[in-house]
A and B are shown apart, each in its own frame.
Chain A
Amino acid sequence: DSGVTQTPKHLITATGQRVTLRCSPRSGDLSVYWYQQSLDQGLQFLIQYYNGEERAKGNILERFSAQQFPDLHSELNLSSLELGDSALYFCASSTSMTATNEKLFFGSGTQLSVL
């Protein structure tokens, strides 16, 4: 068990809808990262938050947004969903903001299916 909790584990919704994925990092970790895993694109970095502030942005669509709350949990909001958004969404956490050598601890992911 990595200590990173993601809910829900599975989410089935329809095109055009909006969903929220939730992540609780390991106790003491201030950095939260979101990744999207799809068959064609592999694991793609979406966004990073550190102690409530956005720190780095990857290939995140404008329809997607995220935030990190004072209790350090994070939410990834996906709106105007399309079939192509179906993927496994991972949250990961680490202690520091920029420690390059620091390993990330991953949650078990949220499997999103857009029908």
Chain B
Amino acid sequence: AQKVTQAQTEISVVEKEDVTLDCVYETRDTTYYLFWYKQPPSGELVFLIRRNSFDEQNEISGRYSWNFQKSTSSFNFTITASQVVDSAVYFCALRNSGNTPLVFGKGTRLSVIA
């Protein structure tokens, strides 16, 4: 069974603060993929990053960074120097190997206040 938990329902920060969105996953598979998607107020889900279970290297893309730790089954997402445009709902998702669906967490609503 697959499960993704995003314990933070809502987070509010002031612009330029750093913020970390937590994601904890459960799976019995040894091969799986983790994703983060962003859902801005417009509603469309936008892909941010994909990470496979064999690659624990952290990744940085501009102000975004991701910390994947298999030991704690976590795939956390940090936004550095947050901006108002970062305000959105962020979803962490997991997909096992084989023809299994992409399973989403319930999302974290991030509000960045100017």
Contacts and interface: CB of A to CB of B under 8 A. Distances in A.
Contacts of B35: 103
B96 A100 contact: yes
Interface stretch (B16-24, B67-75, B77-85, B99-107): B99-107
Given A42-B106, A103-B47, A108-B42, A33 B52 contact: no
A103 B106 CA distance: 19
Interface in B89-114: 91, 95-107
A104 B105 contact: no
B62 interface: no
A41 B52 CA distance: 26
Interface of A: 2, 33, 35, 42-43, 45, 48, 55-56, 58, 88, 90, 92, 97-98, 100-101, 103-109, 111
B50 interface: yes
Given A42-B105, A43-B91, A100 B98 contact: yes
Contact of B45 (A42, A48, A90, A101): A90
A104 B31 CA distance: 18
Given A56-B99, A109-B44, A101 B105 contact: no
A103 to B, nearest CB: 5
Contact of B43 (A42, A48, A104, A109): A109
Contact of B102 (A45, A55, A88, A108): A45
A100 B47 contact: no
Contacts of A109: 43-44
B45 A106 contact: yes
A97 B98 CA distance: 10
A106 B44 contact: yes
A41 B104 CA distance: 10
B50 A103 contact: yes
A108 B106 CA distance: 18
Given A35-B104, A100-B33, A107-B44, 13 more contacts: A2-B46, A33-B101, A45-B103, A48-B99, A48-B101, A55-B99, A58-B101, A92-B45, A101-B33, A101-B52, A101-B95, A104-B47, A104-B102
B91 to A, nearest CB: 7
